[in-house]
């Protein structure tokens, strides 16, 4: 059935813009929270508003398309075969991170559908987490050589970061001598990944 909603074309255009925006976001490293009670309530309000305005089908289609696009983005960019010059292929984003990222962009798509139907607070709550992801800029893959040589955000590394990196290198060398090259490189990659996450969360001031 064709909807008579005069705003349906504009709503579809907004959803398309969300999907296009998603294609430009780097999802290799994702640390966002899953929906809490406040976000779930905003999702419920959005669904009710969409249903009342005869946009339920668009609402569901937008959510499904956004979820699929998010998972495809992880499939494209979430794995690396050259971490710390090793042959390992892994992603620092676990299954929970992927679900949380998908939920964030689902909410942005929901906001696009009901932007003209609900209050500003609901729209802000639906867009907040996706905006947080959108602000992530080209984070080097944790463990990659580029991540170890470039300071975060263009700032110099703090003394604790330098000490931690030196300790990581020392431990890795010990493991190489004791258990072999693969074990040492594996420990180095994991340690570097943890350091990158901590640096990201603390703003690089540690």
pLDDT, tens digit, for every residue of 163-205? 777 777 788 777 777 877 777 677 777 777 777 766 666 555 4
Mean pLDDT score of the chain, rounded to an integer? 75
Among 58-72, 98-112, 166-180, the least confident range: 166-180
82: pLDDT strictly greater than 90? no
Q: Choose between 142 and 114: higher pLDDT.
A: 114
DSSP the chain: -----TTHHHHHHHHHHHHHHHTTS--SS---PPP-HHHHHHHHHHHHHHHHTT-HHHHHHHHHHHHHHHHHHHHHHS-BS-GGG-S--B-SS-HHHHHHHHHHHHHHHHHHHHTTTS-HHHHHHHHHHHHHHHT---PPPTTSHHHHHS-GGGPPPPHHHHHHHHHHHHHHHHHHHHH-HHHHHHHHHHHHHHHHHHHHHHTT--
86: pLDDT strictly greater than 70? no
Model pLDDT for residues 17-54, shown as the tens digit of each residue: 999 888 877 665 556 788 999 999 999 999 999 999 99
Kindly list the domain boundaries of the chain, sorted by start residue.
8-134, 145-202
For residue 29, what pLDDT is reported? 55
Percent of the chain's residues with pLDDT above 70: 64
Confidence of residue 5 (pLDDT cuts 50, 70, 90): low
Confidence of residue 63 (pLDDT cuts 50, 70, 90): very high
For residue 13, what pLDDT is reported? 94
Determine the length of the chain: 206
Q: Choose between 147 and 45: higher pLDDT.
A: 45
């Amino acid at each position: 059935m064709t909807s008579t909603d005069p705003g349906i074309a504009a709503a579809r255009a907004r959803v398309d813009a969300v999907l296009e925006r998603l294609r430009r976001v780097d999802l290799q490293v994702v640390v966002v929270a899953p929906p809490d009670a406040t976000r779930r309530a905003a999702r419920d309000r959005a669904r009710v508003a969409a249903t009342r305005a005869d946009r339920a089908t668009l609402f569901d289609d937008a959510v499904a398309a956004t979820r699929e696009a998010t998972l495809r983005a992880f499939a494209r960019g979430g794995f690396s075969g050259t971490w710390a010059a090793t042959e390992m292929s892994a992603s620092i984003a676990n299954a929970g991170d992927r679900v949380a990222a998908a939920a964030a962009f689902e909410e942005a798509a929901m906001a696009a559908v009901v932007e003209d139907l609900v209050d500003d607070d609901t729209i802000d709550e639906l867009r907040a987490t996706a905006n947080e992801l959108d602000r992530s800029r080209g984070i080097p893959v944790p463990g990659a050589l580029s991540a170890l040589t470039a300071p975060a955000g263009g700032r110099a590394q703090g003394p604790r970061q330098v000490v931690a990196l030196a300790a990581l290198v020392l431990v890795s060398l010990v493991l190489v001598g004791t258990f072999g090259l693969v074990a040492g490189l594996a420990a180095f990659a994991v340690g570097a990944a943890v350091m990158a996450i901590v640096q990201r969360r603390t703003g690089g001031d540690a």
